[in-house]
Amino acid sequence: MQQTICFITTGDIKTNAASKRALGMANPLGELGWQVHIIMQDTDENHIKSKIECNNNIAFHFFPTSGSIKEIWYKRTILNTIKPDYIYLCGFVVRNIIPFGISKKPNIIIEHSELTSSIPLVSKTNKLKALLLESYSKWYADELICASKYLYNYYLKKKPLKKILYLPYAFNDELYKKKGEVIDNVHLNGKSLHVFLYVGSITHNYGLFTMLEACAELLKHTANFKLILAGTGKDLDKAREFVTLTGITDNIEVLGYVDEIKLIDLFAQTDCFIAPLHNTIQDWARCPSKLFMYLPYEKPIITCRIGEAIEIFGDDGHYFEINSAKSLSDKMNWVLENKITEVKYNIALHTWNYRARQFHQFLVS
């Protein structure tokens, strides 16, 4: 008998990456015999991503933007229509909790992809709320999915004991196939320059100024490079101001937000990716989805020996010292001098197809 699973998400994928799991595993699970439903907020970006990443066999249920109580009501109404065997909560937040009124009791799976209670910038009130949700999740769920090895070990120690699967993010085969398409509105000035790319939050605590200062240091040795920063964040204007005041506009380009779909062409033109990490619980616990998006391009990835980077690269990673602009500059210069243009990764272990098979086996075993 065909099993039915419904992924419950919240928010716009622009700001909530948790939806990537649902979109990435939907097609592979369908091929494994599952009937897949996805509940998503009705936004332009969510519609675009769903059409690109999922085939017509995946059932989408879009609910209008509303307050949390109304959103929970919409989701409960949809669930009572679907009556799934499994509910997969893409993040255990208030808007994803369906406390009562479900006509058929499903198996509830909760995914943890970060440890919000450990994030320094989160207010005390929100930290307390996050801590309560993190503790309650083990009572609420039948199974837990942890996107990082740190989270897996963290929840393994907590009672009550539940089935837990370590299941990191991955890259989408379908998007990778489209990597040769031309994207008209992303331009790279000076195509002969060696292109370094960072994609993510443009904020101090994501290594922004470490990268900017590293480029200023690297210019003492060579000008044959360009760092492109793609993303948005509270320090976006400060980044642009730094580039202007230091006079390095020829070597650093701050694009701001770039649609993830349009990033594909940018990835294909990149020579080396940069992904700073920090020795904080936040970075040990989270699963940096961009690392997996970079893998299929088989270019060097400069990062730090932290968390999921260690799980992916082991002792073979291109690491720099945490928070050290000099160390990052040296590593970038090393890539340039040694003409490191291609790195072979075992990408077959990091596809959504592979993750879906792991997940399927976890549930049926």
- Tens digits of per-residue pLDDT, 75-97? 999 999 999 999 999 998 889 88
Q: What is the predicted pLDDT for the residue at 88?
A: 97
Is the model's pLDDT at 239 over the cut of 90?
yes
Distance (Å, rounded) from C-alpha 143 to C-alpha 108?
7
Could you tell me the two tokens for 47? 């519609």
Could you tell me the two tokens for 20? 């990537």
Q: What is the pLDDT of residues 60-72, one digit of tens each?
A: 999 999 999 999 9
Q: What is the predicted pLDDT for the residue at 99?
A: 64
Is the model's pLDDT at 362 over the cut of 70?
yes
Q: Which range is least confidently modeled, 185-194, 210-219, 232-241, 308-317? A: 185-194
* Local structure of residue 206 (DSSP, 8 states): G
| DSSP reduced 3-state for 56 | coil
Q: What is the pLDDT of residues 292-315, one digit of tens each?
A: 999 999 999 999 999 999 999 999
Distance (Å, rounded) from C-alpha 59 to C-alpha 222?
52
Distance (Å, rounded) from C-alpha 356 to C-alpha 34?
11
pLDDT band of 205, cuts 50, 70, 90? confident
pTM over 0.95: no
| Contact (Cβ atoms closer than 8 angstroms) between residue 162 and residue 120 | no
Rounded mean pLDDT, 247-257: 90
Distance (Å, rounded) from C-alpha 244 to C-alpha 250?
10
What are the strands, taking DSSP E only, across 35-154? 35-41, 59-63, 86-89, 107-112, 143-146
What are the strands, taking DSSP E only, across 167-248? 194-199, 225-230
Give residue for tokens 């099993």: 3
| Contact (Cβ atoms closer than 8 angstroms) between residue 28 and residue 357 | yes
All domains of the chain in start order, with CATH? 4-167 (3.40.50.2000), 176-347 (3.40.50.2000)
Q: What is the predicted pLDDT for the residue at 186?
A: 38
